[in-house]
Structure 1
C-alpha cells in the first residue's frame, strides 16, 4: 500500500488535529514577565499595555527648515509687511518682505515671541516662537539673513508640528501581546518611556535522535542519514523569535536520552526532539518517554493525530521543573510541518504573543489536487495576490514530504479531513509563511 492509502485506512483511529492542539496548548502558560531596559526590549512581546506618559511632539516645533512667521503677515490679511515686486515668473507678481530677528535651532530653549512684520530663521525640530503659526520653506524665499523675501505663500499651519499632535499624553501606544519592533522602540522613547514589561523570548533546545544520524558536511549513505532536522528546527525556532539552541545528535540509548533531557531542563523553556515518535522497532523516543514506571504514565504522551504528513506527535513535560517537551517525527518534511502545526504555536504561547497561529487567507486554487481522506494535509504552495484583489495558490510539486517544495514555499495549502479532491478554481485555506525575500 502507498503512504496515502495507509493514512486513509488508519484515519478513523486518529485524533482530530484541532482537538489535539487544544489539549496541548491549554497546558501551556506564558513565561513570567520581566522589566527590561528599552534597548533590550526589541523582539520580545509586551506583557502589559503601554500608555504614553508624555505627549509627542513635546512642544510646538518646526517641521521643515525655513522661516517661522505669523500667517496674517504673509497672507495679505495685514498691511504691516512690505510688498515688493516679485522676480520674473513668480506666481502672484509680488513678494513679501519680513525682518529676520533671530535664528532658532533644535537645541534652542529660550522662549521668544514674534512681533508683526518679523520672523525667525528656524531649523527642522526647533521650538516655534510664540504667535508663529506657519513655517515658510527655505526654497520659497531668497534665503535672506537680516530680511527675507517670500515668493510663495503657504497655507496656515504649514511646516508646523503642534505639541501632542501625533500622540497626546495618555495615548495607548501598544497592547499586551504586541511584538516590540524598532519603530515601536522609537515611539516609546519619544514619549519618555525607558523600561517596558515584556515576556522573555523562550529558550528552545532542539535534539535530534537516532543511531543512524551523522552530522552535516557529508552525504548520506546506507545506514547513515545526515541530520538535517536539528539544524532546520533550530532555524525555525529562531525565526519565531525564540533563543534557539541546537544540542545535536543523541543516540537511541535510554539512559543517554533521559540524562540529556534532564540536563537541558536547566536552560530550556521548551525542548523539541525529532525522530523516534512512531511504533517501529527503531522508534526509541516513544518507548523511552512514554514508558510507565511505578504504575505512573510516562512523562510524554504520544498521539496519532489526523495530520498529513507525520501523524505521530508527542507532548509532555520532563524534569523536576516540568519543562514542556514536543516530540516531532524524523522525516525532515514531516518534522517541519509538525513544527508549524505544534511547536510554533507553543513557542508563541510561551512568549505571550497573540495570535499564536500564522495568518491565513482564502485563495483561488490553480491546480486540482488530491488528499488522503480523514487527515488534515499541509502542502507546500506558492501564494500570490491577484491584480483585481484576493489570492491565488499554486501547489508545489512533490507533495508535503519534499524539502525542495518547503524551501520554495511562501504558504501552506490546508486541505481538511473531509477533502479527498480539491478542484482547480475552488477556494481553499492557505497559511502564510513569513519568509524574508
Structure 2
C-alpha cells in the first residue's frame, strides 16, 4: 500500500467534523435566563424578544430649535425651496409676521394651544403645542422675541417628531438571541424598559496541563515549554463573550488533575483544558478524564477529520456535570480547536444566534495544498473588493499556524476532498470578528 493510500485509509477512520460538532452541540442547552437591570444587560444575549411597551417619541415634540406654528399661517412666506434672505430686501421673499405667545423647553409640561397668527418659541425636544404642524428653524427668521418675521415656509411637518414616529407600541426592538449593544440599551431605555431577560455570559475556566509547562516570561528550553495556551485561550474566551478565568498550569498528577477540575465546577459553566489529548506516555489528562467513575463525569476523546489538531475531547466533569472541552497542546492547533469547537459552544451557552462565525465566499489569490481526508482551517487575510466580493490571501499554516493566526482576520476552509486549491478559485472563509 502506498503512503497516499495509507493516509487516505487513516483519514477514513476519522469522524467528519460536521458530524462531531452536531453531536456535541445537541448535548448542550443555553444557560438559564436572568432578569437583569438594563445597566447590567450589555454584553449578554437576549433570552426573549423585546417589545416596545411605549411609543418613542412618547409625545409630539419639536425636532429642532425654532418656532412652532401652523403651516397655514406660513403659506405666503417666501417660496418653497428658495434660500431666505435676512431683512427686508426689495424683490426678496415675502415675510410672514407671527406673534410669539410663549417659550417651550424640553421640561415644559403644561399643554398649550396655538391660535391663528401666533407661534411658540421652542427648543428641540419640547412638547409640540396643540395645533402646530411645523417648526421653523431659527435661521429662517429674524429671531424675534415678541413677534417674529418668518422669511421662508418649510414643508408641512418639517421639524416635527410625532409620537411613535421612530418606535411604535408593540414593535420588536430586538430579537431573541441578539447581543445587547450600547445602542440597544439606549433604545430599550427610550421605550420605557428598565429590565430585560438575558442569558448570562458563560463562566469559562481555562487550564493548561503538562509537567513540561512553565509560565511566561522565559524562553522554552529542553524539557520545558512556555505555557502560551492558557493565556491565548483565556483571551479567546473573553473575545467570544465569556467571563474567562485562567487557572494556569496543572502537573500530570492524576488525583491532583481530577481534584482541580472538580473544584472548578463550582464556578464554571464550561471548562477548557489544553494538552494531554494524545495517547503518548505523558498524556495523563486523557487517561484521567476518559475513566468512567460514577458521579464524576466522563470525557470522550475523538479523532476528528480536522487539520491542525485532529483529537478533541468533550464530556462532563464532577457531580454538577459541567461540560469540559479538551484541546491539543500545540498552540496553533489549540487555537484552531477553540474556533471550531469552543467558540460555538460558548455562543450556544450564551443563547446567541447563530452560534457559528459568519463566512464569505472569496477569490483565492494563491494556490495552496491541503492534506486529503481532513478539513483544514488555514489562517488567511480577507479583503473586501471595491464593487463587491472578497479576496483571500493564505497565510502560514501547518507547523507555522500560530504565526499565521497572529496576522489573520479569517480562516480559509478547505474541505476533506480538497488536496489543491488553485489561485483564482472560490473558497469559503470564516471571518474572525475580533469584537465577538
* 8 Å Cα contact 1:69-1:120 kept in structure 2: yes
| Aligned residue number for residue 102 of structure 2 | 102
**1:385 partnered with 2:384:** yes
Give the C-alpha shift of residue 221 in structure 1. 1.2
- 1:214: which partner in 2? 214
> Could you state the TM-score of these two structures normalised by the residue count of structure 2?
0.94
TM-score of the pair, normalised by structure 1: 0.94
How much does 1:91 deviate? 9.1
Instruction: Check 1:130–1:297 CA distance in 2 against 1; reply closer, same or farther (3 A cut).
Output: closer
Whether 2:176 is the aligned partner of 1:183: answer no
| Residue 176 (structure 1) shift | 1.1
1:303 aligns with 2:302: yes
Quote the residue 2:33 is aligned against: 33
Q: 1:94 aligns to what SS in structure 2?
A: coil
Q: Is the 8 A contact 1:378 1:400 kept in 2?
A: no
Task: Spell out the pairing of 1:107-118 with structure 2 (5 A cutoff).
Answer: 107-118=107-118
Structure 2: give runs of 5+ residues left out of the alignment: 78-83
What is the alpha-carbon distance in structure 2 between the residues aligned to residue 45 and residue 210 of structure 1? Answer: 36
| 1:412-427 alignment runs, 5 A limit | 412-427=411-426
Count of residue pairs the alignment pairs up: 429
Q: Distance in 2 between matches of 1:248 and 1:123?
A: 58
Alignment of 1:23-422 (within 5 A): 23-76=23-76, 87=87, 92-293=92-293, 299-399=298-398, 401-422=400-421
Change (3 A) 1:330 1:9: farther
User: CA, structure 1 residues 137+282, in 2 after alignment: closer, same or farther (shift >3 Å)?
Assistant: same
Aligned in 2, Cα 1:198/1:395: closer, same or farther, shift over 3 Å? Answer: same
CA RMSD for the aligned pairs? 2.3
- How far the C-alpha of 1:94 sits from its partner, in A, is 2.1
Residues 237 and 89 of structure 1: CA distance in aligned 2, closer, same or farther (over 3 Å): farther
Secondary structure class of the residue paired with 1:402: helix
Helix, strand or coil at the partner of 1:32: coil
Task: Verify the 8 A CA contact 2:296 2:317 in the aligned structure 1.
Answer: no
- Contact 1:334–1:401, Cα closer than 8 Å, also in 2: no
Distance 1:221 1:104, change over 3 A: same
Q: Note if contact 2:297-2:321 (Cα within 8 Å) is conserved in structure 1.
A: no
Partner Cα distance (2:128, 2:90) in 1: 28
Report the Cα offset of residue 139 of structure 1: 1.6
Relative to structure 1, the CA distance from residue 28 to residue 382 in structure 2 (aligned partners, 3 Å threshold; closer, same or farther) is same
* Secondary structure class of the residue paired with 2:149: strand
Residues 150 and 331 (structure 1 numbering): CA distance in 2 closer, same or farther, change over 3 Å?
same
Cα distance 1:88–1:111, how it changes in 2: closer, same or farther (>3 A)? closer
Shift of 1:262: 0.6
CA distance in 2, matches of 1:292, 1:97: 90
Change (3 A) 1:91 1:329: farther
Q: Is the 8 A contact 2:69 2:132 kept in 1?
A: yes
CA distance in 1, matches of 2:296, 2:103: 79
CA distance in 1, matches of 2:371, 2:284: 28
Distance in structure 1 (CA, Å) of the matches to 2:230 and 2:296: 28
Alpha-carbon contact 1:212-1:223 (below 8 Å) kept:
yes
Task: Mark the CA change 1:12 to 1:107 in structure 2 (over 3 Å): closer, same or farther.
Answer: same
Using the alignment, how far apart are the partners of 2:91 and 2:394 within structure 1? 60
1:37 Cα deviation after fit? 0.7
